[in-house]
Structure 1
Amino acid sequence: MKSQWIKIAVALITLGMTLQLNAQQKVDKQLVVKESGIVWGMTWLPNGDMLMTLRKGLLKRVNKTSGEVQIIEGLPKIATGGQGGLLDIILHPNYADNGWLYFSYAKRDTKGHKSTAIMRAKLKGNQLVEQQDIYVAQAYSNSGAHFGSRLAFDNQGYLYFSIGDRGQRDLNPQNLSRDGGKVYRLHDDGRIPKDNPFVNQQGVKQATYSYGHRNPQGMIKHPSSGAIWTHEHGPRGGDEVNIIKSGENYGWPVISYGINYSGTRFTDLTEKEGMLQPLWYWDPSIAPSGMTFVTGNKYPQWQGKLLVGSLKFGQLVMLTLNGDKVTKQDIAVDDLVRVRNVTQAPDGYVYVALDGQGVFKLVPTSL
């Protein structure tokens, strides 16, 4: 009788292990393009070719069929160094009709100080033409930190972008008259939307859509609601996931779940009236970079979930959602190096950019 119970217990344990394994999505990491630098942004042209930005100031095109890599000419002067350089890239939702692509980059003024700029341009062969700066943040600093910067279009065709606090946490994020530490919203040609939240206030940056941010390096449109989701770096602890809402204050640096890198505190507050709480936060920090919602049927175990890259741990972190709430997190892929970006491409596959290695496609495998 005892041996029978042992067999049943073993069977139950084995079943539990099987269920646990079946809850995971196994993937192979297939190299798309090898790159020793930092691939910051990725987007795909209608013919399937990939455009990728390198933070050191290069824009490259990867042929879908041959894998041949070509350099795109015609970039503006880009201020590289520190966390600055050529950053995110995105296509206009109607790219097939109008040909506009958008990218963010670090721009230097006449004094050598750097800020974040947003440019749109068109691609003629492998040459950028019709370049137009549609926003240049007046957040110039000699700091090499906290440029942001991610880009996203919403369902109405508005362009959103993030600019970090430029390392000036006590000057920029809470001051509506200053750029930096904010998420912005523009028309696709750079005009200020009439219903932006601060458009009728004197002396404010009227492109501002939300404020009180530290350094958002993840931004994505929710596939169902159309809302703009972001994540941002905290200091030592306090990385956040947020839904961006018009005119709202997200608290940095008045409230935070993090502390200084030295271990000292810069605030004793984690909440305050009039400041939004994050949907989710990490303590300790994971150093998030890049994010994507998983849709389609390529990854049954990941469908409907949010993937976030971790620079610090070299992982893909998976957040399970219930509406606008994050209910839990899991590690979707481990044993990577610094994950700079993660995005689901038009072909339905998830691609990750790893610092110093290049871009990889995650291909599901059978369990």
Structure 2
Amino acid sequence: MPKNKQILLDNRPEGEAKASNFKLVTSETPALKDGEVLVRHHFLSLDPYMRGRMNDAKSYAAPQELGKVMQGGTVGEVVESRHPKFAAGDKVVGMGGWQEYAVVAADQPGALRKVDTTHVPLSHYLGAVGMPGVTAWYGLNKIIEPKAGQTVVVSAASGAVGSALGALAKARGCRAVGIAGGPDKCKYVTADLGFDACIDYKQHADAQSLSRALKEACPQGIDGYFENVGGMVMDAVMLRMNAFGRIALCGMIAGYDGKPIPMAYPQLILTNRLLVQGFIVSEHMDVWPQALQELGTLVGTGKLRPRESVAQGLEAAPEAFLGMLKGRNFGKQLVKLA
């Protein structure tokens, strides 16, 4: 069995996460038992939710255990199988974690899923046609519930979730407006993803300034907002929300270092009778097949053109992860392992 490089959570961060929170080790890969599959990972997904799990705090999921392999989504190829439904050469997606190989008990629900790479590149099953894409699908369809002609805004619009949200909103006849950081990201959002407008939040010092830009981009106000960021960005959007608007609360990356995120205008929730709903996509597995089918079609037909930032080698994962938390990635952040 092959040697396996792994990255463990060595200690918990105090404030900002650091590379020293992680530890690279090499371990022996155990022999397979009946029902198990050995997977060689080709790509590892890096996602903002991982930062929250590094803390030993009450949340919707158990904290990442110290001394254990960092959890995370992976895609790869079956190397060896002792399970009747999987064979060597199968391309699969799972939660293999920050390591080069994983031994997977394939009978566990959701542990491993075969994927077709004929029209969709393998890496996209960690982004647009994976958890981030389904996250966008659920927030849009089950919480925002847009009607044709309405305006939908998404923060972190150039990222894996935001880019999928824009394509899905346009497919429903909506005006899609993105918020992203920097002119290159904003150009990609409009030129490549087909958003109607994109606002560079880095050009605005406060919520009032950003809100004025939103007023210009959203002349009919905002009917639905998909929140990934929090803080000043959310305050600015709140000032432009229409009555009975819906906010799908997916992430609050502005507070992932553990600091409070004050809300400047909570009274607008009452004034505008807003629906604000947080959600965790793994709690809604029933919608995944429908969502993945639509997302796969959007990618396969070129209506959703995801962008990826790819770090090379497992050793690069910690710095790539920290950079993603600072917005240094452009699109879905991956680590290429094979």
Q: TM-score range by the shorter chain?
A: under 0.3
Q: Which has the higher contact order (CA 8 A, sep 6+)?
A: 2
Higher strand share: 1
Max radius of gyration: which structure?
1
TM-score (norm 1): 0.25
TM-score (norm 2): 0.27
Higher helix share: 2
